Structure 1
Amino acid sequence: MTDSSTFITALTSQNLPNINCHIRVSDEPSGIEKNVKTGTVHLVGAGSGDPELLTLKALRVMQKADVVLYDSLVSEDILDMCALTAEKIFVGKRRANHALPQEGINELLVKHALAGKTVVRLKGGDPFIFGRGGEELQEVVRHGIHFESIPGITAASAAASRAGIPLTHRDHAQAVKFVTACKKLGAPNNDYDELLDSTQTVVFYMGLNRLDEMTQGLIAAGRDSNTPFVVISHASLPTQQLLIGTLGNIAEQQAEAKLPTPALLIMGDVVNLYHEFANYNLGALGKSTFIDVQNVVSSHDLVSNLEVVT
């Protein structure tokens, strides 16, 4: 068939009245739907919960989303930053309480992307640090879907920074390990022999409910019971709380204090630096030089404005 647009362009205005032409607008048979273009999946780290710690790139992607699949650790303030027109689907998982199994989340990602939508998978912390981001992307690429991964501030960094506990320090810790307290299918992680080096800081994710078992296992494996240890609950949020003790007594203190999940556990000599920094740290929780079970400090003691100290 002749290309109609080229044909008309070639004609002069004088010839047009003398031409009897019939132009077909489309070569496609009527009634056949065009193929929908495949969408994309954006794996976005929402950070530790404080909306001011969200990256600008994450915000840009969130504001153009058609569908947002979000976890239980994504704060309402951050969720409100997503596009107003986006369909928001809760797929959160907490201990023994999953809104959807992982396979169901994977299916939703694929389903909406294949429907041509811009899908944002919004995960607390960083998706590639105990966030199952890699598992979800494996399913996405199996279906030929393109993705983008945007990092977020993981809980270890956020909690330690807010409390003034550096995860590494040349005089105290030459390495840091991020360790999950539970393996796949809920099996406990009992590899304590890998965590005995006193020059390393160890950060335990998802370990609060195994605190007593873990501390006993570490001591039995050879870690000094006097090793400084801190529980940090609700990292970076206004409700953040700290409980400081030692490997030998932190479980007993937590049994009485009952700091809530989600919580992070940090073990190592760097924990002692909290005391050195606390009175000058605008983000520290309170002015106490030591937080124990009788003195758990909450957000009400935060220095909330620089003008207070200037």
Structure 2
Amino acid sequence: MEKSSESTGRVWLVGAGPGDPDLLTLRAARLLMQAGIVVHDGLVGEAILAMARPDARLISVAKRRSRHTMPQDEIGALLVREALAGNDVVRLKGGDPFVFGRGGEEVEACRAAGVPVEVVPGISAATGAAAAAQIPLTHRRDASIVSFVAGQCKGLTDQDWAGLAGKGRTLVIYMGVATAPQIAEKLIEDGLSPDMPVAVIENATRPAMRVLRGPLAGLPDLVARGKVKSPALIVIGEVAAEPETNLRALALEMNP
């Protein structure tokens, strides 16, 4: 372990990627196998947790919609407390620590307490899910702009989404399953075509992965009928069209 020369331990914020253990970075896997304490999110699968060293103490701080086992400020305090006790801590997060992972808040807590902290990036949920579903977030023909948005109600009401989706753009929505009706309504009200292609990717990169597709107007029904559950991402834009549709568009482009 890259042990600090001081009595204070060190904290690593480690991205666990979208779910498949094979998508961990080499550095993430190495730190996980060496850390004495692993503080992990609920979306980190058992196969990844099994990579921790046999005597490691695993601490779950799982979050679910409207149900938190530990408030965010207490998670930061936990990391600081364990490090000040001389322990090396891996804070294991799904996806990337700095993409809707509250990694910034945990880094701030460690810095404020004088605890050495490093960030190990991971494959984000958006890039991992898109790759697994073979949906290019950018495409020379269809999209040169990508936006990542949190789909909770606060984001829907407090932020201006105008221009985030449409021609030449891809919109990726995290945490949007529960608010799918409001998302569709808001985007259509803002001028996006009800026929804009949508893909919902559930359990990306995992054995139970599903990809559901349809038009934007049908997003609420797609989520409800499919009984979609988290973890799931919503991709909105021409890149989310059915593969056959994309192939036809490419054929027309090559043979006008």
Please indicate, yes or no, whether the TM-score normalized by the shorter chain is above 0.5: yes
Structural mapping, 1:193-272, within 5 Å: 193-272=162-241
Read off the aligned partner of 2:154 and give its amino acid letter. A
Structural mapping, 1:1-310, within 5 Å: 37-182=7-152, 187-190=154-157, 191-272=160-241, 274-275=243-244
Q: How many residues align?
A: 240
Tell me by how many angstroms 1:230 deviates.
0.8
* Structure 2 CA distance for aligned equivalents of residues 40 and 257 of structure 1: 43
Cα distance per residue 1:119-176 (max 9 Å; x no partner): 0000000000000000001000001111111011111111111111100001100111
Q: Indicate the SS of the match to 2:198.
A: strand
Q: Are the aligned partners of 1:166 and 1:270 in contact in 2 as well (CA < 8 Å)? A: yes
Cα distance per residue 1:216-255 (max 9 Å; x no partner): 1100110111110011111110001111001111212222
* Structure 2 CA distance for aligned equivalents of residues 172 and 194 of structure 1: 15
Structure 1 vs Structure 2 CA RMSD: 1.6
* Structure 2 CA distance for aligned equivalents of residues 129 and 274 of structure 1: 28
* Structure 1 CA distance for aligned equivalents of residues 22 and 53 of structure 2: 18
* Structure 2 CA distance for aligned equivalents of residues 129 and 207 of structure 1: 15
* Structure 1 CA distance for aligned equivalents of residues 56 and 180 of structure 2: 39
Structure 2: state its 5+ residue gaps: 1-5, 248-256
Tell me by how many angstroms 1:188 deviates.
3.6
* Structure 2 CA distance for aligned equivalents of residues 258 and 217 of structure 1: 22
* Structure 1 CA distance for aligned equivalents of residues 42 and 213 of structure 2: 27
Q: Are the aligned partners of 2:166 and 2:237 in contact in 1 as well (CA < 8 Å)? A: no
Tell me by how many angstroms 1:197 deviates.
3.6
* Structure 2 CA distance for aligned equivalents of residues 268 and 277 of structure 1: 12
Tell me by how many angstroms 1:274 deviates.
3.0
Structure 1: state its 5+ residue gaps: 1-35, 279-310
Quick one: higher RCO (CA 8 Å, sep 6+), 1 or 2? 2
- Which residue is 2:252 aligned to? none
Tell me by how many angstroms 1:273 deviates.
5.7
Read off the aligned partner of 2:101 and give its amino acid letter. G
Tell me by how many angstroms 1:276 deviates.
6.4
Q: 1:171 to 1:202 in 2, by over 3 A?
A: same
* Structure 2 CA distance for aligned equivalents of residues 196 and 65 of structure 1: 42
Q: Indicate the SS of the match to 2:146.
A: strand
The structure whose Rg is larger is: 1
Q: 1:161 to 1:275 in 2, by over 3 A?
A: farther
Tell me by how many angstroms 1:82 deviates.
1.0
Tell me by how many angstroms 1:277 deviates.
8.2
* Structure 2 CA distance for aligned equivalents of residues 271 and 116 of structure 1: 48
Q: Calculate percent identity across the aligned residue pairs.
A: 44
Q: Indicate the SS of the match to 1:59.
A: helix
Cα distance per residue 1:94-129 (max 9 Å; x no partner): 101111011111111000000111000000000000
* Structure 2 CA distance for aligned equivalents of residues 214 and 46 of structure 1: 28
